[in-house]
Amino acid sequence: MNKIIVKCKACKKDMKILNKKGKYRCPYCKEVYKLNSFNKFTLKIGRISKDFIKTLVDIKNTFKYRVNVAKYHFKNRKR
């Protein structure tokens, strides 16, 4: 069975739970965490957007690098 990591709403600690609908008790504060389809959906979206942001940063860095290289060549040509 797959396990997923969720944040406890009460103590904000990460806890590992089964990737299955149901109620889970937080091992730190004993708060009950309910996993339903909606929770699972938002967890998925969160993971996707993290990857998406990482890709955007990579693209930005690559672009910056290219601009710097272009500037460098431009300066050298001028001299």
Interface residues with Zn ion (CB under 5 A) are 8, 10-11, 26, 28-29, 31
To 5 degrees, how large is the angle CA 54–CA 59–CA 62?
125
* Nearest to Zn ion of 11, 69 (CB atom): 11
Shortest separation between residue 1's beta carbon and Zn ion, angstroms? 22
* Nearest to Zn ion of 28, 72 (CB atom): 28
* Nearest to Zn ion of 29, 70 (CB atom): 29
Shortest separation between residue 32's beta carbon and Zn ion, angstroms? 9
Cα torsion angle, 34, 36, 40, 42, sign: negative
